[in-house]
C-alpha cells in the first residue's frame, strides 16, 4: 500500500457510479410533461415539453428533488405553492410534484434495474485496496436503495444523501454541505479530499467547498461546461484517469500549478474587462492588461498599457464648466496580433464561434498563456496559442508568441502585428465626458521584420517609443521574409501571408522594446528602442531571463499555505499584482504606487493614502522599493510646501491625489452618477494623507533601520508634515486644548456639519490621534538620536528645541472626545447626527455600498447621518496597537476602559456601508485583535476574494485595488501569524485558521532575517542576525534567545 497525498474520495451517485442520471431525466420528463399538459388544459398555458438539454441539465440535475422542481417552475414562470415534503404525489405543489417524480422513478427502476459504470466501480475497488477512505454524497433520496440494488452499499464508509440532508438540514448543491459532511464523517481534511461529480451544480459545490480536487465526469458532452463551473479535471469516463496514479499526479503537480495561477475556461463578454485587469502582466515600469491579442478597445475589451508615473493634463468643457484633469495615460498598445483566412474578416473573438478557450496567468513567472479553438462562418476551425510577458529582467522588454494552426482546412493566412498609438483613455465610463486624447503621433513605420512607433504626450511632453522585432515561423522553421508595413497617423500594421496546410503551424514572435524620453533624453527614445530590439534573441530567452528574476522575487516574498488552496491562490495573486505595480525596477523610477495599480484608469492613476496599506509588505521584503516610493514624495516636497502656504499653513501639506508634479489633483466638483447632478467635491480635505506618508516613513525606518534616510530626506518630510499639522492646530485658551478644523476623515461620506457653512469637520478622532502619534515619534527620535546625525537637517529646515517643545505640548493636548461608554466621537458633533434605517435601505436598494450617492439622489445628505463608507475612528486601531492608543489618550488626560477597542468596533461597524474594499480588511484585522475568529475570517475572505469575484460589481475592470491586496497579504503575517512589528524585537502569537496545516514565510526586520514555519501546534523559526549574536523573540508570551543560523522550535 503506497503513501498518497490524498485521503478520501467522495462520489456522487447518479451519472458517476450508476447510470441512473438518464433514469432520473426520464422520470422528470414523464412527470413534468404530464403536469404541463394539465396546465395547458386547465389554465390555457401552451404546452412546451420538458427536455433533457434545455430543462433537466440546467434546472434539475444534481439538485435536491424539491429544489429542482422549484427551479424548473421558476424558469417557466409557473407559480404554485411549495407545499410540504409529506404532500401526496397528486398534490399540485412543488413537493407534491417532487414526490410524483419519485413514484415514476421507482417504477422505472423496478422495471429496468440499476446499470453501473464499471470503470468507476473498478476505481472504487482500487481506492479501497490502497487504503483511501470512500464516501457517497447525493441529492437523491433513493441513494441507499439504488446502491443496495446494485450490491455496492458496503463499499462506502459514509453516505450523505437526500434523506440525511433533510434530517440534518443541509443545503443542497451548489452549496458544498453534503460533501463537507461526508468528509467530516470520515474525519478527513477537505484539502486532501476529492469530489467526483457529473453535474454542473455538483462541480460548483466542489469548488465552493475548497476541496483538494474536484473531478468532473462529462457524460453529456459537457467538458467545457464542467471546467467553467469549477472542475479541476474533466474526463468522459473514469478509465481515462489512469486509476489511483492519475489522482496522485494531480496532488503531486497539478495542484501546485493551480496554486500558482488563475485560469479562465470561458470567454464571458460581461466579465472580460474585470478579467483583463486580473490577467495583467507587468514589471513595475509598465503594465499591460490581459486583453486578447486580437481585440480592439470596445464594449467588451480594453487592452490598456500603463507606465509608472506617465501622466498628462487636459482641460475639458463639461456642462459649461472647464474641468482640468491629469490622467494616467493609456499608452500605445504593443499587444495586437490577429489573422484572417484568405480574404475574410480579421479574427474577432466577439463575432466568431469560440469552441474552447482557456487562459492561464502564472504568478511564478508572470507568463499569460492562451489556448483557443475558433470557428468562422464558413466552418473553418483554427487553433490559437499565445504566450506573453513583461520582462522582470529588463524593464524595457515585452515579448509575445502567437501561433495559429488550421484544424480542418488549408489556405492563405494573413498574419498582422500592430503597434497602436492612435487611442484615447476610455477605460472608465464616468470620465467619458472629458477630453481623453492624450497622445500626439510623431513617427511610425517598419523595416523588413521590425516595426516602430513614436508618440508624445500632449501636455507633459514625454516621448513614448515602441519597437518590435517580428520573427515568423512555419512549423518551427524560421522564415526570412519582409513584412508589408502599412502606416497611418499613430499606427503601424505589419502583415505577412503564407499558404498554410491543415495541421501546419504559423507562428509570430513579437519582441518589443519600450522607452520614454524620461530615461533616454529628448529625441533619443525611438533610436534607443530600435537598437534595443536588436539585442532580443528569442521569446524563450527573454522568458528564461525574466523567470530568473521572478524566482528571486518569490524567494523573498512568497507565503506558502498548506491546507487551503483558495487562500493560497489569492495570496499569491495579490503578491503578484503588487510586484507588477512596484518591482525592483522602481529604484530607477520616479513614481508612487497608484491606488489601482498599473492595471487601469480608475482614480486617474493617482497616488492617494492607499500606500499606508501596502508599503509595510514591501518594507519587510524589498525595502529599496519603499525608499524609492518615499523619494517620489520627497521630490515633491516643494509642491507640498507651496500647497500648505497657499492655505496659510507652515510645513508640507501633501495633496489627497498626487500625480506628476505633486500638486493637488482632486476635482473641485464631482458628478453623482446616481442623480446626474454636479456638486462640490471636498475630498481634498482628507489631509490625513500626510499622516499616511508620515506613517510609511516611520515604519520604513523602523523595519529597515535606515537611520540615514530618517536623518535626511525622510526626516525632512516627517518634520515638515509635523509643522503643517502644528500650524493647523488652534488653541482654546480657556481649556488649553488644541483643535484641528476643516478636515475630512477616512470615512469620505462626511464633508461638513449639518447647517454649517464651513466645509470640513472639527477634531476628527483619527486625525488627532495620528497627529499625536506622529508628534510623539518625531520628538522621541529627535531627543534620542545622536545630534551629529540630524544637525544638518535641523539647520536646513530651521528646526530648534523651542519648536520641538511645542510639538510635545500639542501632542498631549489635542482635543479628542469620548462619551461615557468609551466611544471616541468620530468628529465634533457626530453623536448628534441622525441614525439611519439600515434595514429599510437594504430592502429598497439591496446594494448600499455607496450610501452617500443614494442619499444625495433622494435629496438628503450623508452629512446628516451616522453613516460611513469605511472605517474612520477604527483606523487608529488598524495603524496603532490598542496600548499605543491608550497611552496617547492617557497623555491627553483621558481614562480608558479595558475593552475600548471592542466597544468602538461594535458601535461603528454597524454604521458602515463598506463602500470601499478596504473596509473589510480593516474590520477583519480588528475582529482578529478582539479574538472574534469567525467574523474576522469571513471578513478576511471577502477582502481576499474581492477583486477575484469583483465584489463591487465592475470596479475591478477599472484596475485592481492595490491597498486591499497589500493589506490582505500583511494580514497573514500580522494577524494569522500574530507577528507584531512595533517593538525592537519581534513578538508573535499565531492562530492558524481551520484547515490550515502549515504556514511558511520569511522577511527581514531590523537587520535580522527571519524564516518561519508555523503549524497548528508549534512554531519553527530560524533567524540569521546581522552580527551573528543571539536574537530575542517572544512566542506565545514567552521570550526566547535564538542562536543565529540555528532552527528553533517551540510548541504552542
Residue 404 burial (C-beta neighbours within 10 Å; 0-12, 13-18, 19+): buried
CA angle 137/140/143 to nearest 5° reads 70
End-to-end CA gap in the chain:
34
Give the separation between CA 607 and CA 595, rounded to whole angstroms.
6
- Please name the residues in contact with 395: beta carbons below 8 A apart, sequence gap of 6 or more: 283, 284, 285, 286, 583, 585, 588
- Contact between 591 and 308 under an 8 Å Cβ cutoff? The reply is yes
DSSP state for residue 240 in the 8-state scheme: G
Verify whether residue 806 is a known catalytic residue: no
670: closest CA among 931, 345, 899, 431? 431
603: closest CA among 820, 430, 401? 430
Strands 8-11 and 133-137: parallel
Chain-centre distance for alpha carbon 515: 29
- Please name the residues in contact with 941: beta carbons below 8 A apart, sequence gap of 6 or more: 567
**Catalytic residue among 220, 326, 748, 929, which?**
748
- The phi and psi torsions of 821 (rounded to 5 degrees) equal -90, 5
- Contact between 916 and 595 under an 8 Å Cβ cutoff? The reply is no
Cis, bond preceding 100 (omega within 30 deg of 0): no
- The phi and psi torsions of 516 (rounded to 5 degrees) equal -130, 165
Residue 1047 belongs to what H/E stretch? strand 1047-1051
* CA distance to 42, 273, 292, 382, 393, per residue, from 386 (Å): 58, 19, 9, 13, 21
Give the separation between CA 130 and CA 989, rounded to whole angstroms.
39
Crossing angle between the packed helical segments 689-704 and 623-634, to the nearest 10 degrees:
140
- Please name the residues in contact with 126: beta carbons below 8 A apart, sequence gap of 6 or more: 243, 244
| Three-state DSSP class for residue 550 | helix
Give the separation between CA 171 and CA 139, rounded to whole angstroms.
10
- Contact between 228 and 199 under an 8 Å Cβ cutoff? The reply is no
**Residue 148 CB coordination number (10 Å):** 12
Give the separation between CA 886 and CA 437, rounded to whole angstroms.
52
Give the separation between CA 190 and CA 395, rounded to whole angstroms.
42
- Contact between 937 and 993 under an 8 Å Cβ cutoff? The reply is yes
* CA distance to 30, 433, 829, 917, 963, per residue, from 947 (Å): 45, 27, 36, 9, 11
* Active centre residues (catalytic): 748
Amino acid at each position: 500500500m503506497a503513501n498518497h497525498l490524498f485521503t478520501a474520495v467522495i462520489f456522487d451517485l447518479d451519472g458517476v457510479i450508476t447510470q441512473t442520471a438518464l433514469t432520473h431525466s426520464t422520470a422528470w420528463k414523464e412527470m413534468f410533461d404530464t403536469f404541463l399538459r394539465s396546465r395547458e388544459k386547465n389554465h390555457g398555458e401552451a404546452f412546451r415539453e420538458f427536455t433533457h438539454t434545455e430543462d433537466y441539465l440546467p434546472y434539475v440535475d444534481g439538485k435536491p428533488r424539491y429544489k429542482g422542481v422549484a427551479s424548473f417552475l421558476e424558469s417557466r414562470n409557473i407559480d404554485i405553492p411549495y407545499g410540504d415534503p409529506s404532500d401526496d404525489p397528486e398534490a399540485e405543489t412543488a413537493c407534491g410534484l417532487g414526490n410524483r417524480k419519485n413514484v415514476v422513478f421507482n417504477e422505472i427502476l423496478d422495471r429496468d434495474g440499476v446499470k453501473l459504470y464499471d470503470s468507476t466501480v473498478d476505481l472504487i475497488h482500487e481506492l479501497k485496496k490502497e487504503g483511501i477512505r470512500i464516501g457517497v454524497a447525493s441529492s437523491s433520496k433513493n441513494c441507499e436503495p439504488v446502491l443496495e440494488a446494485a450490491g455496492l452499499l458496503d463499499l462506502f464508509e459514509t453516505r450523505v444523501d437526500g434523506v440525511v440532508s433533510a434530517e440534518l438540514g443541509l443545503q443542497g448543491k451548489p452549496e458544498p454541505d453534503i460533501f463537507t459532511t461526508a468528509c467530516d464523517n470520515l474525519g478527513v481534511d477537505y484539502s486532501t479530499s476529492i469530489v467526483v461529480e457529473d453535474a454542473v451544480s455538483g462541480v460548483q459545490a466542489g469548488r465552493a467547498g475548497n476541496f483538494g480536487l474536484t473531478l468532473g465526469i462529462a457524460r453529456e458532452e459537457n467538458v467545457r461546461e464542467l471546467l467553467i463551473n469549477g472542475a479541476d479535471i474533466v474526463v468522459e469516463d473514469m478509465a481515462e484517469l489512469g486509476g489511483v496514479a492519475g489522482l496522485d499526479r494531480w496532488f503531486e503537480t497539478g495542484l501546485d500549478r493551480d496554486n500558482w495561477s488563475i485560469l479562465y475556461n470561458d470567454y464571458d463578454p460581461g466579465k472580460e474587462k474585470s478579467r483583463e485587469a486580473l490577467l495583467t502582466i507587468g514589471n513595475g515600469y509598465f503594465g499591460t492588461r490581459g486583453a486578447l491579442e486580437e481585440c480592439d478597445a470596445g464594449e467588451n475589451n480594453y487592452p490598456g498599457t500603463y507606465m509608472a508615473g506617465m501622466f498628462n493634463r487636459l482641460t475639458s468643457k463639461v456642462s459649461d464648466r472647464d474641468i482640468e484633469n491629469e490622467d494616467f495615460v493609456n499608452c500605445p498598445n504593443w499587444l495586437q496580433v490577429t489573422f484572417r483566412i484568405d480574404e475574410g474578416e480579421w479574427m474577432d473573438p466577439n463575432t466568431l464561434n469560440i469552441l474552447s478557450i482557456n487562459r492561464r496567468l502564472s504568478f511564478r513567472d508572470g507568463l499569460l498563456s492562451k489556448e483557443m479553438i475558433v470557428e468562422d462562418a464558413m466552418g473553418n476551425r483554427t487553433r490559437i496559442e499565445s504566450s506573453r510577458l513583461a520582462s522582470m529582467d529588463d524593464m524595457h522588454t515585452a515579448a509575445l508568441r502567437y501561433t495559429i494552426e488550421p484544424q480542418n482546412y488549408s489556405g492563405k493566412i494573413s498574419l498582422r502585428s500592430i503597434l497602436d498609438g492612435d487611442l484615447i483613455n476610455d477605460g472608465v465610463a464616468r470620465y467619458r465626458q472629458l477630453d481623453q486624447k492624450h497622445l500626439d503621433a510623431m513617427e511610425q513605420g517598419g523595416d523588413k521584420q521590425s516595426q516602430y512607433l513614436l508618440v508624445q504626450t500632449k501636455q507633459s511632453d514625454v516621448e513614448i517609443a515602441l519597437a518590435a522585432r517580428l520573427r515568423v515561423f512555419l512549423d518551427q522553421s524560421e522564415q526570412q521574409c519582409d513584412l508589408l508595413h502599412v502606416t497611418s497617423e499613430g499606427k503601424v500594421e505589419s502583415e505577412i501571408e503564407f499558404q498554410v496546410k491543415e495541421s501546419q503551424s504559423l507562428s509570430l514572435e513579437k519582441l518589443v522594446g519600450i522607452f520614454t524620453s524620461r530615461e533616454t533624453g529628448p529625441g533619443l527614445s525611438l533610436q534607443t528602442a530600435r537598437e534595443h530590439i536588436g539585442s532580443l534573441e528569442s521569446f524563450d530567452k527573454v522568458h528564461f531571463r525574466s523567470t530568473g528574476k521572478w524566482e528571486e522575487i518569490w524567494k523573498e516574498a512568497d507565503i506558502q499555505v498548506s491546507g487551503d488552496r483558495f487562500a493560497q491562490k489569492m495570496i499569491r495573486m495579490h503578491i503578484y499584482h503588487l510586484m507588477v505595480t512596484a518591482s525592483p525596477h522602481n529604484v530607477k523610477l520616479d513614481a508612487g504606487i497608484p491606488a489601482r495599480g498599473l492595471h487601469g484608469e480608475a482614480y486617474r492613476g493617482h497616488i492617494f493614502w492607499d500606500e499606508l496599506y501596502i508599503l509595510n509588505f514591501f518594507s519587510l521584503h524589498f525595502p529599496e522599493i519603499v525608499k524609492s516610493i518615499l523619494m517620489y514624495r520627497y521630490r515633491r516636497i516643494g509642491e507640498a510646501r507651496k500647497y500648505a502656504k497657499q492655505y496659510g499653513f507652515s510645513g508640507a501639506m501633501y495633496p489627497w491625489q498626487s500625480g506628476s508634479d505633486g500638486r493637488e489633483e482632486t476635482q473641485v466638483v464631482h458628478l453623482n452618477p446616481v442623480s446626474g447632478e454636479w456638486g462640490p467635491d471636498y475630498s481634498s480635505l482628507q489631509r490625513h494623507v500626510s499622516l499616511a506618508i508620515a506613517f510609511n516613513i516611520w515604519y520604513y525606518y523602523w523595519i529597515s533601520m535606515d537611520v540615514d534616510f530618517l536623518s535626511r530626506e525622510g526626516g525632512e518630510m516627517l518634520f515638515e508634515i509635523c509643522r503643517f499639522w502644528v500650524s493647523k492646530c488652534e488653541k482654546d485658551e480657556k481649556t488649553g486644548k488644541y483643535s484641528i478644523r476643516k478636515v475630512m476623515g477616512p470615512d469620505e461620506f462626511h464633508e461638513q456639519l449639518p447647517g454649517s457653512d464651513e466645509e470640513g469637520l472639527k477634531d476628527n478622532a483619527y486625525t488627532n490621534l495620528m497627529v499625536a502619534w506622529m508628534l510623539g515619534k518625531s520628538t522621541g527620535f529627535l531627543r534620542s538620536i545622536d545630534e551629529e546625525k540630524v544637525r544638518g537637517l535641523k539647520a536646513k529646515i530651521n528646526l530648534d528645541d523651542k519648536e520641538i517643545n511645542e510639538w510635545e505640548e500639542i501632542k498631549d493636548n489635542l482635543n479628542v472626545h469620548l462619551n461615557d461608554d468609551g466611544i471616541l466621537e468620530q468628529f465634533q458633533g457626530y453623536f448628534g447626527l441622525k441614525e439611519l434605517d439600515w434595514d429599510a435601505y437594504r430592502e429598497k436598494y439591496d446594494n448600499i455600498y455607496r450610501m452617500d450617492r443614494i442619499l444625495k439622489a433622494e435629496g438628503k445628505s450623508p452629512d446628516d447621518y451616522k453613516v460611513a463608507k469605511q472605517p474612520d475612528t477604527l483606523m487608529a486601531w488598524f495603524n496603532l496597537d490598542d496600548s499605543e492608543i491608550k497611552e496617547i489618550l492617557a497623555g491627553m488626560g483621558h481614562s480608558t476602559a479595558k475593552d475600548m477597542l471592542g466597544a468602538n468596533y461594535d458601535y461603528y461597524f454597524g454604521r458602515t456601508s463598506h463602500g470601499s474594499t478596504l473596509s473589510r480588511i480593516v474590520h477583519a484585522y480588528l475582529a482578529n485583535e478582539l479574538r472574534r475568529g469567525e467574523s474576522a475570517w469571513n471578513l478576511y475572505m471577502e477582502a481576499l476574494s474581492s477583486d477575484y469575484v469583483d465584489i463591487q460589481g465592475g470596479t475591478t475592470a477599472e484596475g485592481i485595488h492595490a491597498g486591499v491586496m497589500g493589506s490582505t497579504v500583511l494580514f497573514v503575517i500580522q494577524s494569522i501569524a500574530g507577528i507584531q512589528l512595533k517593538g525592537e524585537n519581534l513578538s508573535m502569537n499565531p492562530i492558524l485558521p481551520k484547515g490550515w496545516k502549515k504556514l511558511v514565510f520569511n522577511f527581514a526586520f531590523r537587520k535580522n532575517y527571519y524564516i518561519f514555519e508555523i503549524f497548528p501546534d508549534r512554531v519553527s523559526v530560524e533567524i540569521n542576525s546581522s552580527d551573528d549574536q543571539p536574537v530575542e523573540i517572544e512566542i506565545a508570551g514567552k521570550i526566547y534567545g535564538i542562536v543565529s543560523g540555528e532552527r528553533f522550535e517551540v510548541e504552542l
